[in-house]
Amino acid sequence: MGTSLNIVEIMVAVFLIAVILFQIRGEGAGIFSAAESTGRVRRGLDLLLFRFTVVLVVLFLVIALLSARFGSSV
pTM here is 0.72
Give the Cβ contact number of residue 12 at 10 Å: 19
Query: What is residue 39's predicted lDDT score, i.e. its pLDDT?
Result: 61
Domain of 66, in residue numbers = 2-70
Q: How many domains does the chain have?
A: 1
Q: What per-residue confidence (pLDDT) applies to 3?
A: 86
pLDDT score recorded for residue 36: 54
Q: What is the pLDDT of residue 19?
A: 92
Q: How far is CA 2 from CA 13, 19, 33, 57, in A?
A: 16, 26, 40, 20
Give per-residue pLDDT as tens, 11-46: 999 999 999 998 876 555 445 555 555 566 778 888
